Homo-oligomer: A and B are copies of this chain.
Amino acid sequence: MKLYDVVGTDKNLCFSPNVWKARLALNIKELKFETIPLRFDEIAPVIGPMIPKGKAATVPVLVDGDNVIHDSYEIVQYLEESYPATQRILFGSRAQDAFFNTWFALSFQRPMYQLTALDQLELLDEDQKEYIRRTRKEMIGMSLEELANYHPEAARESAQRSLEILAEFLSSFDYLAGDHPGWPDIVTAAHFTWVLRLNKATFQEIVLDDASPSIQNWWHNMQRYVY
């Protein structure tokens, strides 16, 4: 299997939380794969022709024989159906997995993106920095500097409240999916990993320092899949 990833200056650094989701799923299932690293400006020309017209050219894309699977949740579903003898990772309904995504994206991912907006530039080649600055300004409607300075305290509070909810839940369950790591664990560990790669100090200060023992224990257990 081949997994298309996006990287920065370091070709071994998986740059996208969405690709981390696919990597974590493959690793939990102990499936072997080869990574195809792309720079940001290579995604559209390489991925575009591989996927149906009209869909946005994004990573991850998984190629398994003749099958081309696009989007991290689709990849997880494909792996679950195609490799039934491996560790299960989908335990709930699609709607509830989607609810976790929505909650996580608005409550944790969005504020953390703001708090690490400028850090991502440090990991990119000069010309890629310009690409990210320009495309992100088009998407967000403000520069990354303006985003980083837009009520950072509110962003920090939102992230911390999300961690309180995770901590409360993990005081009763080993994993966010229950007894085994599943989709909500994959989503959360993917973003934790991404923030850690972007800025160790921010991760330590916002995510781990205030984290309850239940989150720290969970994060320790998830480390075996982060590679």
Residues of A within 8 A of B (CB): 91-100, 102-103, 106-107, 158, 161, 164-165, 168-169, 172-173, 175-179, 184
Smallest Cβ-Cβ distance to A168: which chain B residue: B102
A83 and B97 CA atoms in complex are apart in Å by 26
Q: Could you tell me if B107 and A165 are in contact, using CB atoms closer than 8 angstroms?
A: yes
* Chain B min CB distance to A200 (Å): 28
User: What would 7 A/B residue contacts be, using CB atoms closer than 8 Å?
Assistant: A91-B93, A92-B96, A95-B178, A98-B169, A98-B172, A102-B165, A106-B165
Give Cα A5 to B183, complex, Å: 37
B165–A98 touching, CB < 8 Å: no
Given A99-B100, A99-B184, A94 contacting B165 (CB threshold 8 A): no
Residues of chain B with a CB closer than 8 A to A168's CB: 102, 106
Q: Within the complex, what minimum Cβ distance (angstroms) separates A220 from chain B?
A: 19
* CB nearest to A180 among chain B residues: B95
- Choose one: B96, B158, B169, B179; the contact of A102 (CB below 8 Å): B169
Q: A106-B168, A165-B107 are in contact. Are A184 and B96 (CB under 8 A)?
A: yes
Question: Could you list 9 further interchain pairs (A-B, Cβ under 8 angstroms) beyond the known A95-B175, A107-B161?
Answer: A92-B93, A93-B93, A94-B178, A95-B173, A96-B100, A102-B165, A106-B161, A106-B164, A106-B168
A96-B103 in contact (CB<8A): no
Alpha-carbon separation in the docked complex, A106 to B160 (Å):
13
On chain B, the residues within 8 Å of A176 by CB distance are 95, 99
CA distance A60 to B100 in the complex (A): 28
A37 CB to nearest chain B CB (Å): 32
Write the chain B residue with the least CB distance to A154: B157
* Chain B residue, CB-CB nearest to A97: B96
The CA-CA distance from A98 to B96 in the complex, in Å, is 11
In the assembled complex, which residues on chain B have CB atoms less than 8 Å from the CB atom of A102? 165, 168-169
Closest residue on chain B to residue A183 by CB atoms: B96
A151 to B178 alpha-carbon distance, docked (Å) = 34
**Residue among A93, A107, A164, A184 with most chain B CB within 10 A:** A93
